[in-house]
């Protein structure tokens, strides 16, 4: 018979660990429960698995941590298998064998071991909070009580797919301006450090007739060429200090506020946060998750500290017996039309459906706004880049023309 290692807790709270022999994992868990112990962990002891090869370790390190796309694929496959009538343990085992990501395979095997030891699937997921969000866990827990596990997995997969698509759109909208901006900086530095110094000998001794722009650029070029270590060090310190500032609560709040203040971007970010918040709330309410838990999770996944504070105030209000819309009436983070629709959904008892409809509208609006912002940023960046390069070029050409006229 195979051997199993275990961790268990007694009724007094004392934790014990050891090994035992049993016919199967479930039999080992039953044996421990028969001793009056609460099972924390039961896993097989396999000598071959204990001796992990160097190449296996290298493959795990090279693969990196599992990502959201792996969780989405797992959720979709599990929903299909559960609909086909395959039991949860067999489904987890089959998906673990098929996955090509070694670290995610270890996660699935551990979840399977926890399920076989008597834990609920939602409890097994709580071991990996970085992979499975509170929304995922709570919707799974609600489906276990309602008995609609496969349908809920489909809903979770749909939610995750939409979140990934939204994230890709936002990142994609930032890539082009980032490339153009980086190119503008590189071209400017190249002109100041490699091109402009070539004209220094031409302008030497003629400082009195040089335009202010040329004098300024020559001084800037000389500073960059002779003091470049100081410049790089200062930029590194400034970037590090700004990054550290944004990691603080005050700095993060400032960044989140700026996202909702910048004229060109505030509408896009506003639609993003409203869509994400209301979609999360609608999914959780339709899944049967309690209202207070729903509001708390909505604040956590909103992605902005201002919106998180808004939903925390809603949570406190509902906890005292007030309606959800009571704190929303005073806020400027949600349009009044949205607040009125939420109030109508709360009165009719169809709040989850209303939330879904509003989030769908704002998701479509977000796509349109991303296209509009991308289309507006492109010419703006080109104009800015052309202006900088043109300014440098004119600062070089104008004094040459001026000196040629003096010679004549």
Tell me the two tokens of residue 230. Answer: 């100081």
Phi, psi dihedrals of residue 141, rounded to the nearest 5°: -60, -40
Residue ranges in 227-350 assigned as alpha helix (H): 228-247, 249-259, 266-287, 291-301, 305-319, 325-328, 336-348
Distance separating alpha carbons of residues 6 and 44, to the nearest angstrom:
9
Question: Under 8 Å CB-to-CB from 190, ≥6 apart: which residues?
Answer: none
Task: Give, for 34, the enclosing helix (H) or strand (E).
Answer: helix 25-34
Matching residue, tokens 């996202």 = 259
Burial class of residue 369 (count of CB atoms within 10 Å of its CB; 0-12, 13-18, 19+) = buried
Distance separating alpha carbons of residues 362 and 337, to the nearest angstrom:
12
Q: SS3 for 59?
A: helix
Compute the chain's Rg from CA coordinates: 30
The residue out of 34, 51, 68 marking a domain boundary is 51
pTM over 0.75: no
Position 115 in a domain: no
Q: What is the DSSP letter of 191?
A: I
Position 74 in a domain: no
Please give the span between the terminal C-alpha atoms of the chain, in angstroms, as a whole number: 105
Each of the 408 residues of the chain gets a pLDDT tens digit; together they read 677 777 777 777 676 777 788 887 778 878 888 888 877 777 776 544 444 444 555 555 566 788 888 999 999 999 888 888 888 888 888 888 888 888 888 899 889 888 888 888 988 999 898 889 888 888 888 888 777 888 888 888 888 888 888 888 878 777 877 888 888 888 888 888 888 888 777 777 776 777 888 888 888 888 888 888 898 999 999 999 999 999 998 999 999 999 999 887 888 889 889 988 998 888 888 888 888 988 998 888 888 999 999 999 999 999 988 888 888 888 889 998 999 999 998 888 888 889 989 988 988 888 888 888 878 887 888 888 888 888 888 888 887 777 666 555
7 forms bridges with which residues in the sheet?
Answer: 17, 41
The number of CA neighbours under 13 Å toward the Cβ of 212 is 0
Residues 43 and 168 grouped into a single domain: no
Burial class of residue 162 (count of CB atoms within 10 Å of its CB; 0-12, 13-18, 19+) = middle
pLDDT single digits (tens) 254-294: 999 999 998 878 888 898 899 889 988 888 888 888 889 88
Residues 44 and 179 grouped into a single domain: no
Distance separating alpha carbons of residues 64 and 103, to the nearest angstrom:
7
The answer to whether 4 and 39 have CB atoms below 8 angstroms apart is: no
The answer to whether 333 and 311 have CB atoms below 8 angstroms apart is: no
Which CATH number do you get for residue 2?
3.10.20
44 forms bridges with which residues in the sheet?
Answer: 4
Distance separating alpha carbons of residues 305 and 252, to the nearest angstrom:
8
Burial class of residue 306 (count of CB atoms within 10 Å of its CB; 0-12, 13-18, 19+) = middle
Q: SS3 for 11?
A: coil
The answer to whether 272 and 366 have CB atoms below 8 angstroms apart is: yes
Closest CA to 289 of 182, 157, 144: 144
The answer to whether 122 and 293 have CB atoms below 8 angstroms apart is: no
Distance separating alpha carbons of residues 25 and 17, to the nearest angstrom:
16
The residue out of 10, 35, 51 marking a domain boundary is 51
Residues 284 and 405 grouped into a single domain: yes
Task: Supply the range of the domain harboring residue 353.
Answer: 163-408
Residues 265 and 408 grouped into a single domain: yes
Q: What is the count of structural domains for the chain? A: 2
Residues 41 and 178 grouped into a single domain: no
The residue out of 32, 51, 70 marking a domain boundary is 51
DSSP-derived pairing of the beta strands 38-44 and 3-9: antiparallel
The answer to whether 270 and 263 have CB atoms below 8 angstroms apart is: no
Tell me the two tokens of residue 31. Answer: 């044996």
Position 242 in a domain: yes
């Amino acid at each position: 018979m195979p051997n199993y290692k275990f961790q268990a807790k007694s009724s007094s709270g004392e934790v014990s660990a050891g090994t035992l022999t049993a016919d199967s994992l479930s039999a080992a868990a039953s044996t421990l429960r028969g001793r009056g112990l609460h099972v924390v962990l039961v896993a097989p002891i396999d000598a071959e698995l204990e001796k992990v090869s160097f190449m296996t370790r290298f493959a795990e390190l090279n693969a990196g941590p599992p990502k959201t796309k792996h969780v989405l694929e797992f959720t979709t496959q599990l929903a299909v298998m559960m609909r086909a009538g395959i039991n949860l343990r067999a489904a987890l085992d089959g998906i673990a064998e098929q996955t090509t990501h070694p670290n995610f395979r270890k996660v699935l095997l551990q979840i399977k071991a926890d399920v076989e030891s008597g834990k609920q699937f939602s409890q097994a997921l709580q071991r990996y909070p970085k992979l499975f969000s509170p929304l995922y866990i709570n919707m799974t827990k609600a489906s276990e009580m309602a008995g609609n596990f496969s349908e809920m997995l489909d809903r979770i997969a749909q939610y995750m797919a939409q979140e990934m698509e939204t994230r890709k759109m936002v990142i994609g909208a930032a890539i082009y301006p980032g490339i153009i901006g980086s190119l503008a900086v590189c071209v400017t530095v190249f002109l100041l450090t490699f091109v402009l110094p070539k004209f220094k000998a031409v302008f030497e001794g003629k400082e009195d007739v040089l335009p202010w722009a040329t004098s300024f650029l020559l001084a800037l070029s000389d500073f960059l060429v002779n003091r470049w270590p100081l410049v790089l060090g200062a930029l590194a310190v400034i970037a590090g200090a700004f990054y550290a500032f944004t990691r603080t609560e005050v700095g993060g709040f400032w960044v989140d506020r700026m996202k909702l203040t910048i004229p060109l971007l505030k509408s896009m970010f506003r639609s993003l946060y409203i869509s994400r918040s209301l979609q999360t709330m609608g999914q959780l309410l339709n899944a049967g998750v309690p209202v207070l838990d729903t509001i708390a999770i909505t604040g956590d996944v909103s992605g902005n500290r201002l919106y998180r504070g808004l939903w925390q105030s809603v949570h406190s209000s509902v906890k005292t017996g007030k309606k959800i819309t009571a704190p929303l009436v005073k806020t400027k983070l949600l349009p009044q039309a949205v607040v009125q629709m939420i109030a109508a959904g709360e009165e009719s008892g169809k709040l989850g459906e209303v939330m879904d409809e509003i989030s769908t509208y704002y998701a479509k609006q977000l796509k349109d706004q991303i296209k509009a912002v991308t289309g507006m940023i492109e010419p703006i960046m080109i104009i800015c880049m052309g202006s900088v390069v043109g300014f440098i070029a004119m600062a070089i050409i104008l004094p040459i023309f001026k000196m040629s006229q003096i010679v004549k």
